[in-house]
Amino acid sequence: MNKTVQFAVLFLAVAFIAGCAQRKIATPVAPLPAPAQKVPVVVLLKEADGTFGRVTIRNAHGVVQLEQPNTAVKIVSADSGPGAPEVMDDSEVRRRFGSVLRALPDAEIRFTLHFLEASDTLTAESEALLGQIAKVIQDRRSTFVSVTGHTDTTGTDESNYQLGLKRAERLAEIVKTSGVPATAFWISSHGEGDLVVKTPDNVAEVKNRRVEIVIR
């Protein structure tokens, strides 16, 4: 067996063992780092709801893909390809990455409020949410709140853009009265361009007559 064949066999063996846990696009043979050495590492994790994505790690010497949560790839340097995927259990993830994971902010909070037809008057149900919205903004000390107005398909595109804007502005005005700084609001309108319930033109639909508020 010449050296190239030996190398290829080793390569395939490594690829096969690794491939049992992970699909690999390529497994470049990289020198293993000394255990104490600090080596860059990428870890795929799952979100609180259990969903997870996919990570591809690529440099001039190879490509490795992570498709399962709690798997990690080490990259010794730019001069060698990413290593084979390894399992990293939750306790190891916490030990190594707990501090940075705890520094992740809370997710944004969203509310959707509905309006009477062709009007910037809130439905009674939505009006009841105003206190809660103001409280969330205050509790989070938010300075970045998006308020986006939407309409149903009755009326023209232009009048609906204006109506959406009027709804968003009206809502921001109401919330401001509870002490939220005016500079915290980013107001816009999508008019009838972003329907929740897809309808033909000139259809009144309360679910489309809304303002979406995102509190960060």
Partner 1 sequence: MCRNLLFLCPVFWAFSGAVSGAEPIGVVKTLVGSASIVRAGQIMPCRMELHIFVNDVIQTAVDGRVGILFSDGARMALDPGSELKISRFQFVPSRKDFGMVRGMVAYISGKIGHFSPESVRMETPVAVIGLRGTHFVVSLDGN
Count of positions on this chain that bind partner 1 (CB under 8 A): 56
Nearer to partner 1, 107 or 124 (CB): 107
Q: Which stretch binds partner 1 (CB under 8 A): 70-78, 124-132, 153-161, 165-173?
A: 70-78
Q: Interface with partner 1 includes 42 (CB under 8 A)?
A: yes
Nearer to partner 1, 33 or 118 (CB): 33
Confirm or reject binding of residue 1 to partner 1 (CB under 8 A). no
As measured in angstroms, the least distance from the Cβ of 21 to partner 1 is 17
The SS3 assignment for 202 reads: coil
Minimal distance, residue 197 CB to partner 1, in Å: 16
* DSSP β-ladder status, 71-74 and 109-114: unpaired
Q: Kindly tell me which residue out of 58, 166, 176, 190 binds partner 1, with binding defined by CB under 8 A.
A: 58
Residue 135 tokens, joined: 């409280």
Site string for partner 1, 137-156 (x = CB under 8 A): -x-xxxxx-x----------
Q: Does residue 190 bind partner 1 (CB under 8 A)? A: no
70: contact with partner 1 by CB under 8 A: no
Distance CA 105, CA 102 (A): 8
User: Nearest to residue 166, comparing CAs of 182, 152, 149, 186?
Assistant: 149
Which range of residues in 4-12, 19-27, 168-176, 181-189 is near partner 1 by CB under 8 A? 181-189
Q: Is 82 in the site for partner 1 (CB under 8 A)?
A: yes
136 binds partner 1 (CB under 8 A): no
How far CA 179 is from CA of 74, 131, 136, 137, 182, in Å, comes to 50, 12, 12, 10, 9
Query: Residues 6 or more apart from 26 whose CB is under 8 A from it?
Result: 62, 63, 64, 81
Instruction: Sort residue 87 into left (φ over 0), alpha (ψ -120 to 50) or beta.
Output: beta
**C-alpha dist (Å) from residue 14 to 86, 119, 165, 180, 204:** 12, 67, 60, 59, 63
Residues 88-107 that bind partner 1 (CB under 8 A): 93, 96-97, 99-107
On whether the CB atoms of residues 179 and 161 are closer than 8 A, the answer is: no
Binding site for partner 1 (CB under 8 A): 37-47, 51-59, 69, 74-78, 82, 93, 96-97, 99-108, 110, 138, 140-144, 146, 179, 181-184, 186, 214, 216
